[in-house]
Amino acid sequence: EYTYLQYHSYITIPFVEDASIENAIHCLAVMLYYNRPPEAITDRMKRLTPVAMRMEVKEGINNCLIINDSYNSDINSLTIALDFQNRRAAAKGMRRTLILSDIYQTGLPPASLYRKVADIILHKGIERLIGIGPVISDNAYLFNLEKEFYPTTESFLAQLDPADFHNELILIKGAREFHFELISETLELKQHETILEINLDAIVHNYNLFKSKLRPETKIICMVKAFGYGAGSYELAKTLQDRGADFLAVAVADEGAELRKAGITMPILVMNPEMSSFRTLFSYYLEPEIYSFELLRAIIAEGEKLGLAGYPVHIKIDSGMHRLGFEEKDMEQVVEILNDQTVVIARSVFSHFAGSDEKRFDDYSHRQIETFSRCADYLQQHSKHKILRHILNTAGILRFPEYQMDMVRLGIGLYGVSPIDTPCGLETVSALKTTILQIKTLSAGETIGYGRKGVLSRDSRIAAIPIGYADGLDRHLGNGKGCVVVNGKRAAIVGNICMDVCMIDVTDIDCKPGDRVEIFGEQLPVTEIAEKLDTIPYEILTSVSTRVKRIYYRE
Ligand SMILES: *Cc1c(COP(=O)(O)O)cnc(C)c1O
């Protein structure tokens, strides 16, 4: 909202970081100065894009986390990166370290530039500074914190002792000429070369895509159960919280507690609360799904002991899935119990489809909607406050948007997988990648791996890659059933998949040890692997073992 001379108007900007907001205000000021009409301003502000940058978060040595931002090194992107670091540090209670090179292209005299930088990093709570470059070193006296300076990246690396870094959130930010990737390589933890890459921008894209299919007032519950469908719940939760998502949903109370400890403040629903988890629910203000009388009575009793009032719960209706939930015949008694106490209130009422992704079940889905609506109406009629209702999952949003009601529950779509055949413009979020360890040239007739299952029918080049069934690579993909992608080409998996390693046929592919291999991702969609294994993409995504390092990045 802004006022300028005679205008009073509103703008919406697609950012959350302080630095981007400040940039946007500059844009606004320029347009006002040039007397652009308010409608044009509103329209153009919506279309601003953030300063290009790529930040990667990686696990580092000695319990450190490394944020790598080597795209550019101006003051503005430094502020954005510091904000990003701050949000992470606050969540994890870690010490904040900045490794910073000389900053180019500011047009300011060095003393004023580094005075400004010193101000910013002090203000953003940096506790330790490592300055690299002749100019920043000359201005060392301006910085008032724990500090070290080196003239070049090489001189820093030459004296670097990994033991000097502990439990720190290290932001590495340097102009390209400084080759700070050498520093991040040294500080990164490398035990296992298989990684799951998660594109946080793709999550945002997918979230916005679904949002655009819904009425503006419809709320979205983002499903981050099962460790964010394998992608890591904290990073996703943080990203979605920043985008203004309304609710998160996890499977069990402990998952929710972890998110709260990490600084997630938005409402969190717990889908499968256990009787033993009420204290955890209450202490972290997690909102349980209530699916049975037993659970309803127990939570009221437990809440009463603690003197709680108006604690939000979500009433689950079984409209045809026949998993958990109250049935239509139970509603009268549910209302009786709810109206006879003040400990909990129904914040929402919801149900889940058994087959919303399949046309042949559309009649059944419609009957589910009818049953659910009758239950929800009954509950609402007997309540003094508004109760939100929701039934759509991802497939539901795509296929029955007219039943979006007050809220929807977005799961698999957020992770870039469409549950229906028609493409809908989703972006791939997760890519499972590894690297070639060794390549052997072998003659026709030789066998590969355990049980001598992989028999070579021609002279072949066989590569070993460090991923096996213990990483979540389904053993049924062995013996030619599955493949991976090397330098843009598909390579069949040869022989049985081992626990930590498997072998692939790269006879027709130009490649060498160290080359990247995609197990799934943009070039080999999870849907394709799921089909081969006669399962669903959900299982492929959630099977990636927790020992596989997750790497998050934003463009
Ligand atoms: C997992 C889940 C969803 C999300 O389903 P998707 O098919 O992934 O969109 C929605 N509602 C409930 C109750 C769930 O358990």
Of 190, 212, 228, which residue is a domain's last?
Answer: 190
Ligand 1 site, residue 271, Cβ cutoff 6 A: yes
Note whether residue 422 is domain-resident.
Answer: no
pLDDT of residue 118 exceeding 60, the answer is yes
Across 529-535, average pLDDT: 97
The rounded distance, in Å, linking the Cα atoms of 484 and 357 is: 28
- Structure confidence at residue 360 (pLDDT): 96
Give the per-residue pLDDT at 70: 67
Judge if the beta carbon of residue 419 lies within 6 A of ligand 1: yes
* CA 295/CA 150 separation, integer angstroms: 62
pLDDT tens readout for residues 315-349: 999 999 999 999 999 999 999 999 999 999 999 99
pLDDT digits (tens, 9 = 90+) for 429-449: 999 999 999 999 999 999 999
Tell me if 73 is assigned to some domain: yes
Determine the pLDDT at residue 75: 81
Assigned domain for 421 exists: no
Query: How many other C-beta atoms are found inside a 10 Å radius of the C-beta of residue 137?
Result: 15
Pocket perturbation via mutation, ligand 1, pick of 393, 412, 527, 538 by most ligand atoms within 8 A of CB? 393
Residues 537, 491, single domain; the answer is: yes
Shortest-distance Cα residue to atom 15 of ligand 1: 271
Structural domain including 71 reads 55-190
Of 189 and 476, more confident: 476
Same domain, 411 and 297: yes
The candidate with the shortest Cα–Cα distance to 173, out of 119, 100, 102, is 100
157 and 256 part of one domain: no
Check residue 257 and give its pLDDT. 95
Q: Which atom of ligand 1 is nearest to the CA of 538?
A: 8
Which pLDDT score is estimated for 86? 83
- The residue that leads in pLDDT, 391 or 167, is 391
14 and 119, same structural domain?
no
- The pLDDT value recorded for residue 195 is 92
Give me the catalytic one of 58, 124, 225, 238.
225
Domain identity same for 486 and 379? no
Task: Tell me: do 310 and 403 sit in the same domain.
Answer: yes
Closest CA to ligand 1's atom 13: 352
Ligand 1 atom closest to Cα of residue 289: 13
Residue 75 carries which side chain, given as an amino acid letter? I
CA of 414 to the centre of ligand 1 (A): 11
Which segments of 295-444 are extended strands (E)?
Answer: 311-317, 344-351, 388-390, 407-410, 430-435, 438-442
- Give me the pLDDT at residue 192, please: 53
399 lines ligand 1 (CB under 6 A): no
3 state DSSP class of 119? helix
Same domain, 164 and 239: no
* Nearest partner of 432 among 511, 554, 542, 555, judged by Cα: 542
Q: How confident is the model at residue 413 (pLDDT cuts 50, 70, 90)?
A: very high
- Confirm whether 423 is domain-assigned: no
Give the pair of three-digit tokens for residue 161.
């002792």
Q: How far is the CA of 117 from the centre of ligand 1 (A)?
A: 46
The residue with greater pLDDT, 58 or 369, is: 369
Closest atom of ligand 1 relative to the 409 alpha carbon:
10
Quick check: 191 pLDDT over 60? no
Residue 112 and residue 11 in one domain: no
User: What confidence score (pLDDT) does residue 52 get?
Assistant: 56
- The CA 223 to ligand 1 mean position distance, Å, reads 7
Q: What is the pLDDT of residues 27-54, one digit of tens each?
A: 999 999 998 888 888 888 888 876 655 6
Residue 474 sits in a domain of what CATH number?
2.40.37.10
Residue, of 67 and 338, whose pLDDT is higher: 338
Ligand 1 and 223: CB distance under 6 A: yes
Split into its structural domains, the chain has a count of 4
- Residue 206: is its pLDDT beyond 90? yes
CB of 206 shorter than 6 A to ligand 1: no
Same domain, residue pair 440 and 485: yes
Q: Last residue of a domain, which of 156, 190, 224? A: 190
409 lines ligand 1 (CB under 6 A): yes
User: Residue 299 Cα, ligand 1 centroid: separation in angstroms?
Assistant: 24
Check pocket membership of 495 for ligand 1, CB cut-off 6 A: no
Active site residue 538: no
- CATH number of the domain that residue 327 is part of: 3.20.20.10
On the question of pLDDT at 458 being above 90, the answer is: yes
Active site residue 58: no
* Res 7 pLDDT > 80: no
- Please give the full DSSP string across 285-331, using - where no structure is assigned: T-EEEE-SHHHHHHHHHHHHHTT--SEEEEEEE-SS--SSSB-GGGH
Does some domain include residue 424? no
Ligand 1 pocket check for 221: Cβ under 6 Å: no
Same domain for 411 and 481, yes or no, is: no
Q: Both 212 and 183 in a single domain? A: no
In the prediction, which pLDDT does 537 show?
Answer: 96
The reply to whether ligand 1 has any atom less than 6 angstroms from the CB of 412 is: yes
Please state which of the ranges 63-67, 98-102, 490-494, 518-522 shows the lowest mean pLDDT. 63-67
The arithmetic mean of pLDDT across residues 201-224, rounded, is 96
**How does pLDDT run across 374-411, given as a tens digit for each residue?**
999 999 999 999 999 999 999 999 999 999 999 999 99
For the stretch 343-371, pLDDT in tens is: 999 999 999 999 999 999 999 999 999 99
Most confident of 186-200, 370-384, 540-554: 370-384
Other beta carbons less than 10 A from residue 366's beta carbon = 12
From CA 287, how far away is CA 344, in angstroms rounded?
Answer: 10
Residue 425 lies in a domain: no
Residue 420 within a domain: no
Q: Which of 213, 352, 397 to mutate to test the pocket of ligand 1 (most atoms within 8 A of CB)?
A: 352
Q: What are phi and psi of 189, to 5 degrees?
A: -80, 125
Say yes or no to pLDDT of 190 above 70.
Answer: no
Helices (H) and strands (E) in the chain, counts: 18, 27
Q: Is 476 among the domain residues?
A: yes
The pLDDT of 474-482, averaged and rounded, is 97
Please indicate, yes or no, whether residues 233 and 182 belong to a single structural domain of this protein: no
CA distances, 105 to each of 74, 137, 263 (Å): 7, 17, 36
Find residue 223's DSSP bridge partners: 249
Q: What is the mean pLDDT of the chain?
A: 92
**Mean pLDDT, residues 462-483 taken together:** 97
